[in-house]
Amino acid sequence: MPVRKFDLNELFSDLLPGKRQNQPAAATDAGATAVAPAPAASTTNADASPSHSGTGTPPSGDSADELGALLLARQVVNEEQLASAQRVIKQTPGKALHESLIESGIDEIAVMQGLADVNGLPFERVDHIKTQAHDQKSLHKLGIEFCRQNTVLPIRREGARLVVGSANPEDVFLLDDIKRRLNVQSIKHVIIAAYDVRGVLEMLTASESDQQANVEDILTDVGDDDVELMKEEKLQDADLEDAESSPVVRFVNLIIQTAVKEGASDIHIEPDEKTLKVRFRIDGVLFEMMNPPRKMHAALTSRVKIMSNLDIAERRLPQDGRIRATVHGRKLDLRVSTVPTPKGEKTVMRILDNRSISVTLDELGFTEESLTVWKDQIAQPHGILLVTGPTGSGKTTTLYASIQQMDLRKLNISTVEDPVEYNLTNITQIQTHDKIGMTFAAALRSLMRQDPDVIMVGEIRDLDTATIAIQAALTGHLVLSTLHTNDAPASVTRLINIGIEPFLVGASLNAVLAQRLVRRICKHCKEERPVNEELAELFKTHKIQAQTMRYGKGCDRCRKTGYAGRSGLYELLVLDDFLRDQIARSPNVTEFRRLCHSRGMVNLREDGFKKVVAGITTLEEVLSVTEAVA
Ligand SMILES: [Zn+2]
C-alpha cells in the first residue's frame, strides 16, 4: 500500500502563531503518557498593538536569575541548557529567559510553572477541548484575534473578579486594557502557557468555522453518495490543494494532534443518529473527547480516507489504509480502518508510535525477581520463550523490549510479523503475506536458511508454525513468540492440542510469560485509604498484610480518572526437569497449573496483589484483568 507523507506541522502552520516548524523535540513529562513537545514560546509580542508595548518587557535580570536557579533545582534544565538560553537573551534584546528556554525545546509547562512561582503568581492549565474551561462571554467580547495577539485568555469569573491567564507575569498594561474593554472591577492574574492559549483558540476557530456557513460549503464539496468518478477526481485534487484552508482538514489535524498529545492509542470517529462522537483510547479506556456537528461526518470521513489513500466513493465495504504523519517533529504511523454501519461509516485510527516500543524491559513493571529471571531466559542460546495473553495485553511490547536488550551487533535477529507495525533497526523483519503463500511457516522456513541466532515469530497459530518453531529451538536457536492463552500453564496444553508431541513441547520450551496490563495510579493525586474488613479478609487469604491502600483521587493530569499510564502484571513459568517430565505425560491443564504453582510460579493475580500493596495500581484494576484466570 503506498503511503503518503503528511507533515501536520506544515498543514497547521497557518493556524498557529509562532514558529512551529523544525521544532526541536522538547523534554517530555515523566510518566508513561506521551506528551507532545511544547511548541515555541509566544513570538506575538512583536505583533501586539503599540498600546501594549509593556507586555514585551523581559523580567529584570534578578528575576531571570531566580528563574534559572529554580529550574535548575527542579531539574527542568541542566547547566548547559540554561547557559545557552542566557547567551541567546544577551544577544536578543527584549527576549525573556523563559521564552528562550521554551524555544530551545525545554518543557513549556514546567518553565511556565517556574515563572509563575518566581513571580508569586498562580499557574493554571486550561483544557483545550472543554468549553467551560474559559469564560466564553469575555472571550467573545475581547475577540479571538486580540487574545491570540496578546497570548491572553479570560478563564472564569470569581464573583466580581475576572480571572485572566497570560503567558507574561508583567502584563500590567494589558490587564488594564482588558479591564477597560470588559468593564470589570478587578482582575486576578494567573500564568498560563502560551501553548494552552493557542490550543483553546485553535479549537474555537476550528469548531466555529465548522459550525457556521462553512459546513454547507464542505458538504457541497464532498457531495452525495453517487458522485461521478470525474467529479471525484477533481474534488480530490481540490481538497489537497487548499489543504491549508479547509476547516475539515484543520479539524482532522486537530483530532490527530490532540490524540498524540493525550497519549491516546486509538482514535474513534463514530456517527450516531443525530450525533457524532470522537473518542480516544487512553491507557486502554475510551474517553469521549469531541462532539463535532453530525453534518461534518461525511466530510471528516472523506478527509481521513484521502489522507490514507482509500477510495472515498466506496462506502459500503470496509477499507484499511495507513497515514504517515509528523506531529511536532515526531514521526508516527496511523493505521486506518473504516467499516460501514447503518448509521454511516465508522473510522478507527490506531496510532503506531515508535516511542511506545522504545520502552526498556526495566520500565514494563516486572518485579525485580521476575525481571532477573526473564533477563536470564532471553540470554539463553536456544529454546522457545512464549509470551501469552489476550489482544492488547502488551505482548508485542514485551517481545520488542526483550529483543532490544540483546546484543544486536553480535546476533542475527530476525522477526516474522503480521503486520510489521514498527520498524526496528539492526533487525531483519519479514512481513507475512498469506495470499501469496508467505505464511508464518513459509517465512520461518526461509529464515532458517539465513543463519539466524534469534527468531521472533509474531504468533504461533497452527501446527505448521509450531513444528518449525520447535525444530528451530531444538537445533540451537532462541525462538520468541506469542500465544493466545489465559495463563502460562495453558500454553503448554495449547501446544499439545495444536498437535505437537508432548515430549517435544517439554524438550523445546524454556519459559512462558503470561501478562496483562493494569492502569497505574496517577502519581499526582495518589492518596491513602484504610482497607475495609471485606478487603482485609481477601488479603488474608492471599497472605497479604496491608492496613491501607492507595487510590487516585482524580485530577486534571489524569482526566479525573485517578490513573495515568500502565504497568504489566506477569506470571512467569520457567520449566525445570520435573515439569518437563510432567509435560511429557500430557497433563490436564488444571493439574498442570497446580504443579506449576507448587514449584513456585507466582500467578497473575498474586503479582497483581503485590502491585496493589506497593501502591502501583488498585485492587479493582487487578481483579478486572485477572477475572478470567481466577
Ligand atoms: Zn491524577
Segment 360-383, tens digit of pLDDT: 999 999 999 999 999 999 999 999
Using the Cα atoms of residue 248, residue 249, residue 254 and residue 255 in order, give the sign of their dihedral.
Answer: positive
Q: How many other C-beta atoms are found inside a 10 Å radius of the C-beta of residue 380?
A: 11
User: Quick one: which of 190, 147, 140, 165 has its CA closest to 17?
Assistant: 147
The span from the CA of 135 to the CA of 182, in Å, is 12
Å from CA of 559 to ligand 1 middle: 7
Å from CA of 552 to ligand 1 middle: 6
Measured in Å, how far apart are the chain's first and last C-alpha atoms?
Answer: 43
468 or 214: whose pLDDT is higher? Answer: 468
Task: Check whether 231 has a pLDDT greater than 90.
Answer: no
Å from CA of 521 to ligand 1 middle: 8
The span from the CA of 155 to the CA of 173, in Å, is 18
Chain segment 68-108, per-residue pLDDT in tens: 999 999 988 999 889 988 888 888 777 889 988 888 878 88
User: Quick one: which of 42, 44, 40, 8 has its CA closest to 23?
Assistant: 40
Question: What confidence score (pLDDT) does residue 423 get?
Answer: 83
Q: Name the percent of the chain in helix, strand, coil, to the closest 5.
A: 45, 20, 35
Å from CA of 349 to ligand 1 middle: 26
Q: How many other C-beta atoms are found inside a 10 Å radius of the C-beta of residue 93?
A: 7
The residues facing 106 across adjacent strands are none
Where does the pLDDT of residue 141 fall: very low under 50, low under 70, confident under 90, or very high at 90 and above? Answer: confident
Q: How many CA atoms lie within 13 A of 304 on its CB side?
A: 29
CA 62 and chain centroid, separation = 40
Task: Check whether 236 has a pLDDT greater than 60.
Answer: no
Å from CA of 419 to ligand 1 middle: 35
Using the Cα atoms of residue 607, residue 530, residue 363 and residue 517 in order, give the sign of their dihedral.
Answer: positive
Å from CA of 39 to ligand 1 middle: 24
Å from CA of 560 to ligand 1 middle: 6
Where does the pLDDT of residue 207 fall: very low under 50, low under 70, confident under 90, or very high at 90 and above? Answer: low
Å from CA of 555 to ligand 1 middle: 4
Q: How many other C-beta atoms are found inside a 10 Å radius of the C-beta of residue 300?
A: 24
Burial of 372 (0-12, 13-18, 19+ CB in 10 A): exposed
527 close to 591: Cβ distance less than 8 angstroms: no
Chain segment 37-60, per-residue pLDDT in tens: 333 333 333 333 333 333 444 445
Å from CA of 163 to ligand 1 middle: 24
Å from CA of 177 to ligand 1 middle: 36
Å from CA of 122 to ligand 1 middle: 19
CA 440 and chain centroid, separation = 29
Please tell me the pTM assigned to this model. 0.63
Task: Check whether 217 has a pLDDT greater than 60.
Answer: no
403 close to 456: Cβ distance less than 8 angstroms: yes
